[in-house]
Amino acid sequence: MKFNPTDYKKRNITIWNEVASRYHKRWASISQGPFASTSKLVQLLDIKKGDRVFDLACGTGVVTKKIIQKVGGSGFIIGGDTSVKAIKIAKKWNGKKLNLDFVNLDAETFRFSKKFDVITCQYALFFFPNAQKALKNMKKHLKKEGKLGITVHGGAQKVPFFSSIFDAVTEFIPDYVPPGSPDLDRFGTKKALNKEVKKAGFSKINVQDFNFNFNPGKFENYWQNYLKYLAKPLKEKLDALDKKQRKDLKNMVRENVKSFTQNDGTIKFPWEVLILTAKNKD
Ligand SMILES: C[S@@+](CC[C@H](N)C(=O)[O-])C[C@H]1O[C@@H](n2cnc3c(N)ncnc32)[C@H](O)[C@@H]1O
């Protein structure tokens, strides 16, 4: 089947509308795991009082919330996302403010009449089927000397929290994600991320890695939490496996996490994220 970006986006919207509140509670609102890097992204961008900022794919408003403290009353921040559910949570979590707005929009097609001093995009670039179009759109909306800040996860080997399960699941269910879907790891190296952003015309590109460990508990906690937080379209595929396949799959995941399992049985995953900053010189 040929990859259809419109269907892929629709599927992502359905998934994010379903998982937004779980995602917010489990990760974003408590700065768990990769969200420890949000402060680093904001710090690197050196956001000033009075700045006009756009947080693209703002999700439940985690980056937005940190930035609002920086721009002050004379600044302005807009968060934009395709998921109305995520935006609803972001609005509630951030509270009503005169210098804050959340908008339902798509990364590749959003339009604003006024340009921004800073645009952020945390853990979302890899979801855009046409990331180049989204980056060019971001550039178009930045003032001259305006700053871009992007955070992505490192590649599969750098984030075994994801790959230990994903590698096993796709062995058993090759169409776990729609065939032809963009590889979510495609910007997971400094080189690949730099190249994509450079291609969109940005200058002064700098990519830093941010490394930490994440402990999801013992294997059973890790596995059960995966199932608990899984979105419906994926859960349905797992549920279609027979008993033996499910057992074999679980054993494969268990094998994958062995080298990260400590003497007390808890898992300690390394996790790398990449934080890119760049400028619009035009
Ligand atoms: C992993 S979440 C990150 C959210 C937020 N930036 C954060 O750090 O918590 C990915 C977000 O990207 C959004 N998203 C996916 N595709 C999008 C698109 N084409 N345009 C705008 N947002 C999109 C999803 O709805 C979701 O809220």
Whether residue 95 lies inside any domain: the answer is: yes
Whether residue 121 lies inside any domain: the answer is: yes
Determine whether the shortest distance from the Cβ of 58 to ligand 1 is under 6 A.
yes
Mutate to test the pocket of ligand 1, among 23, 27, 81 (most ligand atoms within 8 A of CB): 81
The Å distance, Cα 166 to ligand 1 centre, comes to 20
Which of 60, 56, 72 minimizes the C-alpha distance to 109?
56
The Å distance, Cα 48 to ligand 1 centre, comes to 25
The Å distance, Cα 59 to ligand 1 centre, comes to 5
DSSP code of residue 181: P
The pLDDT value given to residue 31: 84
Determine whether the shortest distance from the Cβ of 275 to ligand 1 is under 6 A.
no
State the residue range of the domain holding 126: 5-155+181-213+272-280
Whether residue 165 lies inside any domain: the answer is: no
Which tens digits make up the pLDDT trace of 150-202?
A: 999 999 999 999 999 999 999 999 988 888 999 999 999 999 999 999 999 99
The pLDDT value given to residue 111: 98
Which tens digits make up the pLDDT trace of 95-115?
A: 999 999 999 999 999 999 999
- Classified as helix, coil or strand, 26 is helix
Whether residue 267 lies inside any domain: the answer is: no
The Å distance, Cα 263 to ligand 1 centre, comes to 37
Binning pLDDT at 50, 70 and 90, where does residue 261 land? Answer: very high
Residue 137 has pLDDT above 90, yes or no: yes
Which of 278, 36, 34 minimizes the C-alpha distance to 150?
278
Q: Residue 47: which CATH number? A: 3.40.50.150
Which tens digits make up the pLDDT trace of 24-63?
A: 998 888 888 888 899 999 999 999 999 999 999 999 999 9
The pLDDT value given to residue 151: 98
Q: How many domains does the chain have?
A: 1
Ligand 1 atom closest to Cα of residue 107: 20
- Classified as helix, coil or strand, 57 is coil
Which of 246, 189, 251 minimizes the C-alpha distance to 219?
251
CA distance 117 to 238: 45
The Å distance, Cα 61 to ligand 1 centre, comes to 10
Whether residue 276 lies inside any domain: the answer is: yes
Q: What is the pTM of this model?
A: 0.96
Whether residue 234 lies inside any domain: the answer is: no
Which tens digits make up the pLDDT trace of 197-236?
A: 999 999 999 999 999 999 999 999 999 999 988 999 999 9
Determine whether the shortest distance from the Cβ of 57 to ligand 1 is under 6 A.
yes
Q: Is 187:220 a contact under the CB 8 Å cutoff?
A: no
Percentage of the chain lying above the pLDDT 70 cut:
100
Mean of the per-residue pLDDT values of the chain: 96
Whether residue 122 lies inside any domain: the answer is: yes
> How many Cβ atoms from other residues are within 10 Å of residue 92's Cβ?
12
- Classified as helix, coil or strand, 237 is helix
**Residue 27, token pair as written in the block:** 């990760």
Q: Please give the torsion angle defined by the CA atoms of residues 44, 210, 153 and 271, in that order, rounded to the nearest 10 degrees.
A: -160
CA distance 194 to 69: 29
Which of 50, 102, 46, 56 minimizes the C-alpha distance to 76?
50
Residue 1 has pLDDT above 80, yes or no: no
Binning pLDDT at 50, 70 and 90, where does residue 8 land? Answer: very high
Whether residue 93 lies inside any domain: the answer is: yes
Determine whether the shortest distance from the Cβ of 197 to ligand 1 is under 6 A.
no
Ligand 1 atom closest to Cα of residue 129: 19
265: left (phi over 0), alpha (psi -120 to 50) or beta: left
